[in-house]
Amino acid sequence: MNRIRLLGQWLDDRLALGRLYEHTIGHRIPASSASWWYVFGSATLVCLIIQLVTGVCLALVYVPSPDDAYASLEYLDYEQPFGWYLRGLHYWGSNFMVALVTIHMVQIFLFGAYKYPRELTWMVGCALFLATIGMAFTGQTMRFDQDAYWGVEIIVSILGRLPGVGEYATHLLQGGPIVGAETLSRFFALHVFVIPGALIGLLVIHIRLVLVLGISEYPVAGKHVEPGAYRDDYEGVVEKTGIRLMPEGGGKDLVFGALVLLAIVLCAALIGPKIPNGPADPTLIQTVPRPDFYFLSLFAAFALMPPYLETVVIVYVMPLAIVLLFAVPFISRGPERHPSRRPGAVIAVTVVLLSLFTLAWEGVQSPWSPDMDAWSGVPVQPRFVRGRSPLAHAGATILQAKQCRNCHALDGAGGKRGPDLAGVATRLTEDQLIRQVLQGGGNMPAYGKHLAPHEVTALVAFLGTLHPENQPPARSAASSSSSPTGFPEPR
């Protein structure tokens, strides 16, 4: 024992372990802070550790390319020993982490723990919350199944509506004109390097602020927060009734963290990981994707709201909501902290949570497919259908119904990922148009398996009319006036 004590003293003299303990987990906190209401932050940290460990293990097998991503998940699920269980731990760890960080923020808001002098602690916590959401979304994308592919398309659709920077933001996120190999590579970099690095950096700042400013005491009805006297009052409470964070004050945190760990282990073993929803296929526009639970509310909200509100919500409401979240300490500056004396805060939390749960339920039950109309919400301009044949009119309808304008514009109105179709008939002959639709080419996927022959005929008939009045459509040397579509001239 003497040798062990001497070794400990030798290490302490060189590493200052005793002083490190006193200034970190050994620092004194109010006895009232050792409450079951204060365990959600430490439980979130447990989930983060699980995510980092399982994520490193998964990265040893996962291949971040469109051709191999889905196959690597199947390998993990069906061939790699306990690969399915590793994926399950990572999946359920993500779910629990998002849920716990949300509960932690709600608890902080209801207890008024964001008030003086902890405004910056709240703001860093908001940044941690957004980083956690970003981590969850990029993790969903790693599956690169139908859910992941259309989830990225929806995010791109949202970014595309940002005034002035929409086009640049979509290209920056996608790494090119379409969702493809560059997109998955960028999301992989975000998920494995950028966001975890940001999370760890923000977490260090958050813990530092907690150590410097202390853990807020349990709120008492009628006890006000007075900036001029709060620090002296807090130090007085810690001096009289304070306990060390560890071991006296952290017992409940350890118990709850162990229960969360047990719940994740059991969910991974009994329920398993999220099963991928088929390989990503951009031609399957009638698929029925579903995001992971933390995005179901947003999914349902955009499906339910009228189309004319979408741009307003994306461009103005969502950024304003994020700004208001960060600004809470500067908006709610009253001296009361106890929820019973702050009915407005309780009502606000109740309304928000009920709305989120209701929308999430609608997102689970609904039969909706994603309505990718960030670009194609604009109808075909009248001049492109005026005087056309019934067959060409049917082709214009197919162009909209199949959401071709997510990628293609008509005279500047529409997507920017593919070429503008306003003059496509001067660039491609009828045969070339048919081949492009059926077989794809360049960045365009093949739609031969997803369009009936009569739909291809009608679509090509409409595309063949898209040329200036003073310029004839392109013709191959072997073409004649007896072509099946006839390429009716615009009048």
Q: Which CATH number belongs to the domain containing residue 241 in this structure?
A: 1.20.810.10
Residues 114 and 160 placed together within one structural domain of the fold: yes
* Angle ∠(410,414,420) on CA atoms, nearest 5: 45
The answer to whether residue 58 is domain-embedded is yes
Strand partners, 414: 409
Backbone angle region of 476, left / alpha / beta, with phi > 0 → left and psi within -120 to 50 → alpha: beta
Cα 478 vs. chain centroid, distance in angstroms? 52
Let me know whether 115 and 252 are in one domain.
Answer: yes
Residue 475 covered by a domain? no
Chain centroid to Cα 110, Å, comes to 26
Per-residue DSSP letter, 441: B
118 in the same domain as 180 = yes
Residues 228 and 300 in one domain: yes
Neighbours of 113 (CB within 10 A): 21
Is the residue at 469 inside a domain?
no
Cα gap 24→32, rounded to integer Å: 19
d(CA 223, CA 216): 13
On whether residue 279 sits in a domain, the answer given is yes
What are the strands, taking DSSP E only, across 231-389? Answer: 243-244
Q: Which domain holds residue 151?
A: 27-365
Last residue of a domain, one of 365, 392, 426: 365
Could you tell me if 358 and 419 lie in one domain?
no
Whether the Cβ atoms of residue 437 and residue 460 lie closer than 8 Å to each other: yes
pLDDT number for residue 489: 47
What's the pTM? 0.80
Number of domains in the chain: 2
Residues 350, 107, 47, 277, Cα dihedral to 10°: 10
* CB neighbours of residue 67 within 10 Å: 10
Residue 16 zone, left/alpha/beta (φ > 0; ψ -120 to 50; rest)? left
Q: How far does Cα 7 stand from its chain's mean position? A: 49
> What are the b/e assignments for 208-225, b being 16+ CB within 10 Å?
ebbeebbbbbbbeeeeeb
- In the numeric block, which tokens belong to residue 275? 């099963």
pLDDT, position 258 = 97
Q: Is 131 exposed, middle or buried, given 0-12, 13-18 or 19+ CB atoms closer than 10 A?
A: buried
> For the residues of 63-113, what is the DSSP string, one character each?
--STTTHHHHHHHHHHTSTTHHHHHHHHHHHHHHHHHHHHHHHHHHHHTTT
Same domain, 267 and 410: no
Task: Give a yes or no: residue 1 inside a domain.
Answer: no
Which residue is listed with tokens 């700042």? 205
Structure tokens at 443: 């960045």
What pLDDT is stored for residue 85 in this prediction?
96
Which residues does the chain have with pLDDT short of 70?
Answer: 1, 177, 283-287, 366-378, 416-417, 441-443, 476-491
Give the tokens for residue 71.
């196959």
Q: Tell me: do 323 and 428 sit in the same domain.
A: no
pLDDT tens digits for range 376-411: 556 788 888 888 898 988 888 888 887 787 778 888
Q: Is 185 among the domain residues?
A: yes
Q: What is d(CA 441, CA 443) in angstroms, rounded to the nearest whole number?
A: 6
Q: Is 413 helix (H, G, I), strand (E, B) or coil?
A: strand
**CA-CA distance, 320 to 314, in Å (whole number)?**
10
Q: Do residues 264 and 89 lie in contact, with contact meaning Cβ atoms separated by under 8 Å?
A: yes
Considering the domain architecture, whether residues 393 and 359 belong to the same structural domain is answered as no
The per-residue pLDDT for 481 is 47
CA atoms within 13 A on the CB side of 355: 10
